[in-house]
Amino acid sequence: MNETITILAIESSCDDTSASVLQNNRVLSNLIATQDVHKKFGGVVPELASRAHQAHIWPVVSEALKQAQITLPQIDAVAFTQGPGLLGSLLVGASFAKGLAWSLNKPLLAVNHMQAHILAHFIENKQNHYPEFPFLCLTVSGGHTQLVLVHAPHHFELIGQTIDDAIGEAFDKTAKLLGLPYPGGPLIDKYAQAGNPNAFQWPTPNVGEFDFSFSGVKTSVLYFLQKQIKTNPKFIEENLNDICASVQHHLVNLVIDKLQFAEKKYKTHNLAIAGGVSANSQIRKALNQLAEKMNTKIYIPPFEYCTDNAAMIGIAGYLLYKNKQFSSLSAKPTARLQLS
């Protein structure tokens, strides 16, 4: 297919309202309205997220079209996030996308958010560096932690996942215990730069071969801090950098070790990371070191396509379009949509 396909994509699975316009695999615009309303609650409040999506969706879509210099009649298809995510949030994006597709008489593309995080690697880049199939992808976000063997653009094999919290949650909950605002992951990354990664030790969970568990780490940080604060009320303040560095070091090691085990078994020679936590500087460094050690190629998405964004929904939609996998207007947003 050599024709140019213009796709308008909408992402509304959690607390970011995002719209993007793509022509084939090239991003023309990618707008994100972050919802500050959740900050004072220390986490996302689902009902407030739905209301904010409702208020933001049209301004964000119209600005994405404007920046792309595309008018509504030029759009060939509308892509939206079907799940997983917060149901109320998904409903806003899905309803908007359906109404638009119907009124323009254009096809609708229902996209799986977790697949989209992985497929973000296929957005056009200057280096022309795209994963070769099959590749192993470690998807690390605020809601999920998955190890996926990607056989083809539409063929995903889930080989491991978290049995409790996601790694992003472990970052955010640790940050909350340290008194940092939500989402605390990027702040832990920042303070960790000046800290000692070996200052404190944290437990390693005993889980299945390629599975993950993070709730034990979070609990041990809680108990450790409670104990230290009893003898020194200023413990957090005086040790913030070291706590951040050691927790980050441990969380990153837990996931990178699993990626290494998986590569030993599957021998893909192609390793990727995806999802919001792949913005973390330590995970990027650790993946580089692993690649050197195992002599593999690595794929790390640009920062703007790591955390939730509509461009990744657009590229996933484009790949569905090429495969003629269109969706019906009765496609149901699904909070717990599986990877495949």
185 in contact with ligand KG4 (CB under 6 A): yes
CB of 156 to ligand KG4, least distance (A): 16
Nearer to Zn ion, 112 or 270 (CB): 112
CA distance 66 to 46: 29
213 in contact with ligand KG4 (CB under 6 A): no
SS3 of 44, please? Answer: coil
CA distance 104 to 116: 24
CA distance 19 to 128: 24
Only one of the segments 26-34, 73-81, 220-228, 276-284 lies at the binding site for ligand KG4 (rule: CB under 6 A); that segment is 276-284
Contacting ligand KG4 (CB under 6 A), which of 275, 301, 317, 333? 275
Contacting ligand KG4 (CB under 6 A), which of 6, 77, 180, 189? 189
Is 78 in contact with 7 (CB distance < 8 Å)?
yes
Locate tokens 């119907």: which residue? 102
CB of 5 to ligand KG4, least distance (A): 26
| CB neighbours of residue 177 within 10 Å | 17
DSSP line for 47-94: HHHHHHHHHHHHHHHHHHHHHHT--GGG--EEEEEEESS-HHHHHHHH
CB of 233 to ligand KG4, least distance (A): 27
Q: Which distant-in-sequence residues (6+ apart) come within 8 Å of 69 by Cβ?
A: 28
Contacting Zn ion (CB under 5 A), which of 18, 115, 139, 141? 141
107 in contact with ligand KG4 (CB under 6 A): no
84 in contact with ligand KG4 (CB under 6 A): no
Task: Name the residue among 64, 127, 54, 63 with its Cα closest to residue 301.
Answer: 127
Only one of the segments 120-128, 181-189, 200-208, 289-297 lies at the binding site for ligand KG4 (rule: CB under 6 A); that segment is 181-189
Q: Which does 189 bind (CB under 5 to 8 A by kind): Zn ion, ligand KG4, none?
A: ligand KG4
Locate tokens 């030993």: which residue? 264
SS3 of 267, please? Answer: coil
* 196 burial level (CB within 10 Å; 0-12, 13-18, 19+): middle
CB of 333 to ligand KG4, least distance (A): 15
Contacting Zn ion (CB under 5 A), which of 162, 308, 313, 320? 308
- Name which of residues 300 to 339 contact ligand KG4 (CB under 6 A): 307-308
CB of 274 to ligand KG4, least distance (A): 8
- Name which of residues 137 to 156 contact ligand KG4 (CB under 6 A): 141-143
- Residues 318, 333, 156: CA angle, nearest 5 degrees: 50
Locate tokens 């609990």: which residue? 219
Binding residues for ligand KG4, rule: CB under 6 A, are 14, 141-143, 168, 171-172, 183, 185-186, 189, 275-277, 279-280, 307-308
